[in-house]
Amino acid sequence: MNNAELFERARRVIPGGVNSPVRAFRAVGGTPRFIARAEGAYMFDVEGKRYIDYIGSWGPMILGHRHPAVEEAVHRAVDQGLSFGAPTEREIELAEEILRHVPSMEQVRLVSSGTEAAMSALRLARGATGRSSIVKFEGCYHGHADALLVKAGSGLATFGHPTSAGVPESVVQHTLVLEYNSVAQLDEAFALHGPKIACVMIEPIAGNMNFVRSSLPFMQRLRELCSQHGALLVFDEVMTGFRVGLGGAQALYAGSLPGFAPDLSIFGKVIGGGMPLAAFGGKRSVMEQLAPLGPVYQAGTLSGNPVATACGLATLREIAKPGFFDALAERTRVILAGLIDAAEAAGIAMVGDCEGGMFGFFFASELPRRYGDVMATDSARFNRFFHAMLDRGVYFAPALYEAGFVSAAHTRADIAATLDAAAASFAG
């Protein structure tokens, strides 16, 4: 069956034909590609067409597909049994490996998805502070837990409204949504609600509105306000963790703001290396509020699954090798600069930003700083570019509010082919 036939068949038995909405190509139109297999920097669809993959399963595949060390670790784990529901040594090894690179955390708990990690961190923050209100930012995605599917209310005195049917107003009545990078809104929100705020959750580099960094003054003020008011600062590094660098985005902020650290952090994507695995962690005093030690309940049948931990551990050990991120970041910079050059040569305004193996580009003349800026970029041009590239065998994320990912498997030749395709797409 070809892509179109499979899509029709899928839509009969799976809502929208997909198991996660953005895969359906609704933003860009057209038929989703059904992937048969992947290898290195490439994915192959059921029609045998090859694509240079800049999605990397939305972030996890930082080593490229089918990395030999990862495959071997997974095969070995499978040979020992799929799931035990009892503790294993490998869970300790993975926890130790994560903690080794993230000094803000003393303990970590493993879960199976970023959504679960965010939901659990939220409960822990509320349990540890004894407070109910939470703050998030417009354009940040923290998975699909009810309390986090919220858009801004009509003002800072009011809390948010659900962005999904099935989420009662009462469930989001404690969620305040602020504009990303707005120091003024932060100040106002803490002045109005400070003593009630359990935590502020943020994507330090927002990858769910393409690629937008928190400015240093904004991050510094956020840290100050959380500390002054006794609220926990929660870094959602599900995307940026072990992707923008070994220590995640927090290492970048700590590098510029002495002593900087979030109180809780959540990870996913890369730490599972392509298997369902995520984590949340922080200081021992906060983490020990969790069951079985403390009153905050949290659990999971498949948490710390032996195959997933083998996959994650093998991945982290590869990317911790000296020079890995320097080489990855260099590749990413070359791709981004090349795309911008190709656009400029065609007289098209494009800007972009990148860090480690993550990048974003916008059809705009200035880098967006907040969600509204991202949504004001040229979406029609993005959609044309997306399809022109896909036709030429280059697979970018099928929506302009998604980041791009480069892997260690992308060769010079892949990058050159990508940039040739971009030049041809802009000319056509």
Q: Which of residues 104-133 bind ligand PLP (CB under 6 A)?
A: 113-115, 118
What's the rounded Cα separation, in Å, for the pair 179 and 177? 7
Question: Minimum distance between the CB of residue 201 and ligand PLP, rounded to whole angstroms?
Answer: 9
What's the rounded Cα separation, in Å, for the pair 218 and 29? 36
Question: Using CB under 6 A, which of the segments 99-107, 123-131, 232-240, 306-314 binds ligand PLP?
Answer: 232-240
Task: Rank residues 112 and 418 by Cβ distance to ligand PLP and give the closer one.
Answer: 112
What's the rounded Cα separation, in Å, for the pair 191 and 188? 5
Question: Minimum distance between the CB of residue 140 and ligand PLP, rounded to whole angstroms?
Answer: 7
Binding-site size, ligand PLP (CB under 6 A): 15
Residue from the set 91, 203, 318, 353 that interacts with ligand PLP by CB under 6 A: 203
User: Which residues contact residue 105 at a Cβ distance below 8 angstroms, ignoring those fewer than 6 apart?
Assistant: 98, 99, 265, 281, 282, 283
Q: Which of residues 299-318 bind ligand PLP (CB under 6 A)?
A: none
Query: Catalytic residue among 42, 141, 180, 253, which?
Result: 141
Question: For ligand PLP, which residue has the nearest CB?
Answer: 114
Residue from the set 236, 373, 402, 414 that interacts with ligand PLP by CB under 6 A: 236
Question: Using CB under 6 A, which of the segments 27-35, 88-96, 169-177, 233-241 binds ligand PLP?
Answer: 233-241
Residue from the set 56, 143, 356, 357 that interacts with ligand PLP by CB under 6 A: 143
Query: Catalytic residue among 269, 395, 401, 414, which?
Result: 269
What's the rounded Cα separation, in Å, for the pair 222 and 21? 32
Question: Using CB under 6 A, which of the segments 136-144, 317-325, 370-378, 415-423 binds ligand PLP?
Answer: 136-144
Active site residue 236: yes
Question: Minimum distance between the CB of residue 268 and ligand PLP, rounded to whole angstroms?
Answer: 5
Question: Minimum distance between the CB of residue 328 and ligand PLP, rounded to whole angstroms?
Answer: 18
Residue from the set 95, 186, 239, 310 that interacts with ligand PLP by CB under 6 A: 239
Task: Rank residues 300 and 393 by Cβ distance to ligand PLP and give the closer one.
Answer: 300
Residue from the set 64, 204, 207, 248 that interacts with ligand PLP by CB under 6 A: 207
Reading the block at residue 217, the tokens are 């003054």
Query: Catalytic residue among 45, 236, 263, 373, which?
Result: 236
Question: Minimum distance between the CB of residue 422 and ligand PLP, rounded to whole angstroms?
Answer: 25
Task: Rank residues 244 and 422 by Cβ distance to ligand PLP and give the closer one.
Answer: 244
Active site residue 269: yes
Question: Using CB under 6 A, which of the segments 90-98, 127-135, 138-146, 305-313 binds ligand PLP?
Answer: 138-146
Question: Minimum distance between the CB of residue 179 and ligand PLP, rounded to whole angstroms?
Answer: 18
Task: Rank residues 15 and 29 by Cβ distance to ligand PLP and give the closer one.
Answer: 15
Interaction between residue 56 and ligand PLP (CB under 6 A): no
Residue from the set 208, 265, 298, 315 that interacts with ligand PLP by CB under 6 A: 208
Q: Which candidate, 389, 387, 390, 386, places its Cα nearest to that of 400?
A: 386
Q: Which of residues 270-289 bind ligand PLP (CB under 6 A)?
A: 278
Q: Say if CB 201 and CB 147 are below 8 A apart.
A: no
Count Cβ atoms within 10 A of the Cβ of residue 203 and give its class: 0-12 exposed, 13-18 middle, 19 or more buried: buried
Residues recorded for the chain = 428
Binding residues (CB under 6 A) for ligand PLP: these are 113-115, 118, 141-143, 203, 207-208, 236, 238-239, 268, 278
Q: Which residues are catalytic?
A: 141, 236, 269
